[in-house]
Amino acid sequence: MEKVLSCHDVAEIDRTVVTKIGVPEAVLIENAAREFIGILSVSKSSIIQIICGKGNNGADGYAIGRHLVNDGYSAVTCIQVSKELGAQCLFERNLAVSYGVRVVSIDDFIRGKGLVIDALYGTGFHPPMDEDGMAVIRMLSGHPNVISVDVPSGLSDQTPLDSLSVQARFTVTFGAMKSCLLSPYASRRVSDGTVPAVRNPGFPRKLIDDACGDFQLIEQEDASLETLDPTAYKNQRGHVAFFGGCESQCGAAILSGLSAFNARAGLVTILLSPNSRRFFDYPQLMMGKYSDDLSLFDAIGLGNGLDINDADAPSLVQRVLEADRPTVLDSGALRVLDQVKFPERTAPLVMTPHLGELKSVLQCDDLKLLSTVEYLALLRRKAAEYGAVIVAKSNVTWVVGPEGRVNALWGNLSQLGVAGSGDVLCGIIAAFLAQGMSAFDAAVNGVLVHFHAGKAAKAQNGWFDSLLLTSLVGKAVDDLSEDSR
């Protein structure tokens, strides 16, 4: 797991290193420049334009330019955006010039060519943005090859999630992964797929480890799935029930049921409403009725294909919550939460909204207007109010526990946005709940298995449907279990 901090936290560490420990700012800038260059993979004849702001991010840019020229890159230009520069930035600019770096104004920017290094604004940026900055970011719009220094310029903890910022192909951030790089809407402007690189410019490791917060970036190796007990049989691996949805979406519960089976659930029952058609193509799935005793099941999934226009939908959600069984609420169940009175519960509860459903869960009309700080605070507050783990699904999925703990998975696998993919995730998490996992562990492991299965489906078939995805869940569980790691 990799620790995730706010821009503010990293800025405080930077200040501590300079003012209390006594590391010169120039040393941190020198280290940052070298660390950044270490990830570049371009020929020494490539056109490289470095957009330099007036603060320390701009100073990083000038230092990068100096090192590139000194290393033999022949077509490096630093572009000075502002006439007035901060003291450290001015020092680095003059040093770059003395090393032979060509420094020009923004009027000499060559559009659409070569590599652009974005060193306009860093973690010290606070909105609002000035006119010069907005003009530069608009000028960079559509450029195919931009790498950002620390953060894409314009992005911060305080800016709205969908505010104006540089669209980067990749980002190299310093000190620690930053929460704003992982936020929905904004994260797609951080990288075109690969998780941002984290490089340490010289901060003591202890300062990073001791920084406040309980936010981690997780990877496949962070799965905590146990080896399957070879003596366990179906009645020892949990019985999961899913409520079948409306007739037009009856496949949703089937996808959940198949996924639960492949995630090692012992028994799976689909509960059907009186008006639902029975299905016979999946003999491994048992059939029951909405009226069945819910205490018979070790976990329940509700919402897959649920008709939110059905007047009985809120009362069904109310009944499931009052049954106080380990539960996953998905899809339609999340859209009627405002009509449900939450009872006192002791059993684990997981909610799995995508961004559209998340507006209902968080009771927020427009998530894009929230800053990263506001988004994180609201997720934590609502998770605590519901007593639930919220799995906020997007290209980067956040798992937020009621005690404030957060795990995030950098996914950026567009194929997992296929119809029915959320039903598969719901089934996996429900299976893990039925096998006795805590809500948080079931959610985290479910997200990891779902993503691993998605990668396997992509490798096998390119674009895929959710039925193929269900068939690869079992292999993903095996791959991520203790005996396979």
* Rounded mean pLDDT, 212-235: 85
Over 60: is that where the pLDDT of 485 sits?
A: no
The CATH number given to whatever domain includes residue 125 is 3.40.50.10260
Q: Are residues 162 and 209 in the same domain?
A: yes
Tell whether 330 and 453 lie within a shared domain.
Answer: yes
How many CA atoms are closer than 13 Å to the CA of 437, on its beta-carbon side?
A: 27
- Same domain? 163 vs 207: yes
Count CA atoms closer than 13 A to 96's CA, side-chain side: 32
Structure tokens at 206: 């202890």
* Higher pLDDT, residue 304 or 408: 408
More confident residue, 427 or 304: 427
Same domain, 206 and 225: no
* Structure tokens belonging to residue 143: 């450029």
Report the predicted TM-score, pTM, of the whole model to 2 decimal places.
0.93
**Alpha carbon distances (Å) from 5 to 13, 211, 376:** 11, 8, 12
pLDDT, the chain, mean: 92
pLDDT tens digits, 407-420 = 999 987 888 888 89
Are 156 and 255 in the same domain? no
Q: What is the per-residue pLDDT for 483?
A: 62
At which of 170, 189, 213 does a domain end? 213
Per DSSP, the residues of 416-453 read: GGSTTHHHHHHHHHHHHHHTT--HHHHHHHHHHHHHHH
Of 153, 178, 213, the residue that ends a domain is 213
Domains identified in the chain, total number = 2
Alpha-carbon distance 196 to 177, whole Å? 8
Same domain flag for 323 and 408 = yes
Band (pLDDT 50/70/90 cuts) for residue 311 is confident
pLDDT of the residue at 248:
61
- β pairing state of 396-400 and 389-392: antiparallel
Check residues 305 and 81 and name the one with the higher pLDDT: 81
Predicted confidence band of residue 236 (pLDDT cuts 50, 70, 90): confident
pLDDT at 306 over 90: no
Q: According to the model, what pLDDT value does residue 484 have?
A: 62
pLDDT in the model for residue 377? 96
The predicted-structure confidence for 117-158, as pLDDT tens digits, reads as follows 999 999 888 888 888 899 999 999 889 999 999 999 999 999
When pLDDT is averaged across residues 209-220 and rounded to a whole number, the result is 90
Task: Give the Cα separation of 380 and 101 in Å (integer).
Answer: 48
Is 102 found in the same domain as 21?
Answer: yes
Name the percent of the chain lying above pLDDT 70: 98
58 — pLDDT class (breaks 50, 70, 90)? very high
CATH classification at residue 349: 3.40.1190.20
Q: What is the C-alpha to C-alpha distance for residues 256 and 40, in angstroms, rounded to an integer? A: 43
Q: Write the pLDDT tens digit of every residue in 324-374.
A: 999 999 999 999 999 999 999 999 999 999 999 999 999 999 999 999 999
Q: At residue 294, does pLDDT exceed 80?
A: yes
The reply to whether 335 and 410 lie within a common domain is yes
Q: Does residue 394 share a domain with residue 296?
A: yes
The CA radius of gyration of the chain, in Å to the nearest whole number, is: 25
Range of lowest pLDDT (193-197, 259-263, 271-275, 480-484) = 480-484
Q: What range does the domain containing 296 cover?
A: 221-484
Domain limit, last residue, from 178, 195, 213: 213
Statement to judge: residues 283 and 198 lie in one domain: no
Pair (208, 225) in one structural domain:
no
- Asked if residue 269 has pLDDT above 80, the reply is yes
Q: Are residues 189 and 309 in the same domain?
A: no
pLDDT reported for residue 246: 67
C-alpha separations of 91 from 77, 97, 317 in Å: 17, 10, 63
